Amino acid sequence: MTTKTVSSRTIPGPAALPLLGGWTNMLKLFRYPCTYSRWLHDTYGDVVAMANGDPSYVFAFGPALNFHLLSQPAIFEAGKGTILKMPKDTAWGRLQFYNLLNMNGEHHKQQRHLMQPAFHKRQIGLYHNDMVALTGRMLERWQSLSQIDLHFEMKKLTQRITVKTLFGLDDEQEIDRIGTLLQQLIASQAYLLYTPPIDIPGLPYHRMLRLAEQLESFVRTLIARKREDTTSTDVLAALVHAHDEDGTKLTDDELIGHAFILYVAGHVTTSNALTWATFLLHQHPHIHADLLAELDGRLHGDAPDLQSLHQLSLLDGVVKESLRLLPPTPTSMRTAAAPCEVGGFELPKGATIFYSPFVTHRLPELYEDPDRFKPERWTTLNRTAYEYLPFAAGPHRCIGAEFAQQEMKVVLAMLLQRYRLAVVPNARIEPKGSNLDPAYGMPMRIIPQDRQFECIPVRGHIHRLVECPGM
């Protein structure tokens, strides 16, 4: 038997400024997660300290270390690196505490087991008609428009789809009202990075607590309704009626926390993924033309049904490839539950270890021409969950991954058959932040589908991330 050697050598990394330590480097990571993480890997290797020699915050790159981190949840815990810590006795504290992202061990395993039926392939199929109907309404509204911010439109659409399928609401005004409440709650978190958590009217913390209380009250009322109604097929209804072999069910607090995080995951990340997939298609005219030919041949202008979605191989490749190039969560993290080793280096308990789907997806040994948009690669390419991980991997893999991919395919199939979107010439296109939001939106002209495909020059940091013809 061989013994693995653990090194006590200094972990390489960029220099830190006096007093500030690695925080300046952390800010670079949060603002430019793709370019900065790639630079760290190219400069220092597979294990990098955010401040040279400091094992408290490190980056681990590549499939082997992805597997090391994500397949051992007892050692590398999820959710512990959350910046905003709130008391559990507040509505916001309960939203944070009672969700899969912040659960570990047996508690996480039991909760995920209870939630899994709501995301079974058969159950996801029940959400298909809502996806089609809401996408159709958006496309009808576009008839009177000549230009849109595609990112704004995708956020609005995925918000409606998520609220409708999550809560089973039928009234469109109520769908928008709850969607706005949820969006305000998410947006209010950002202010707490710069202001103290003081519960005084007028301050961001007070506003966030009141918004969380409104959401909690709404969901508690809805839970009571779902318990009386056994005919609803939405996600919350499935969660309300889910039970373990011994009869264990999700508590109201757990249902509320799970509902909130499912909204965040189902809305924010999917809207960005749809925006980038559409942009990439319109910057690659030949792929765009080939995909439309596939859609015409199978769908003949109609919305896809569940069976046809499985027959659209190029559409599947387009979704996979756009998620490879611009994954909705380009970096993520785990926290060491005890002293451990990563890549042969010793780390202390409490160390934060970042990993990068973005960098993994750009490794040339895994992906030929890694910076190019090549959906055709997926007709023969087969990668493990730790080599291709737009939805993470291991026990904490996103429970709604199949839902998101079905939604992307439905929206793209319907949109592309009806319209040819063209990015406004010389628009500034820059992915930023932890979810790769387009920092300046995605301005596009709406043109009825005329098959006059073209690649339009744009400006911005997108050039550093994707090789596109004409860019």
* 398 known member of a binding site: yes
Paired tokens of 46:
């597979």
Half-sphere exposure of 121 (CA within 13 A, CB side): 3
- Phi–psi pair at 336, nearest 5 degrees: -70, 120
Q: What angle do CA 302, 305, 311 make, to 5 degrees?
A: 95
**240: Cα separation from own chain's centroid:** 25
Token pair 């409490």 is at which residue? 350
CB 371 within 8 A of CB 362: yes
For 121, counting Cβ atoms within 10 Å of its Cβ (0-12 exposed, 13-18 middle, 19+ buried), the class is exposed
What lies within 8 Å, CB to CB, of 210 at 6+ separation is none
Residue in the structure block whose two tokens are 């980038």: 276
Structure tokens that stand for 44 in this block: 């220092």
Report the DSSP pairing between strands 47-49 and 419-423: unpaired
> Residue 259 has which token pair?
């509902």
Phi and psi for 250 in degrees, rounded to 5?
Answer: -75, 135
Q: How far apart are CA 18 and CA 13, in angstroms?
A: 15
What is the maximal distance between C-alpha atoms in the chain?
71
Helix, strand, coil distribution of the chain in percent, nearest 5: 50, 10, 35
The region, left, alpha or beta by phi > 0 then psi within -120 to 50, assigned to residue 365 is alpha
Contacts of 357 (CB under 8 A, 6+ apart): 327, 329, 330, 331, 332, 389, 390, 392
Residue numbers in the known binding site are 398
Residue numbers in the known binding site for heme are 398
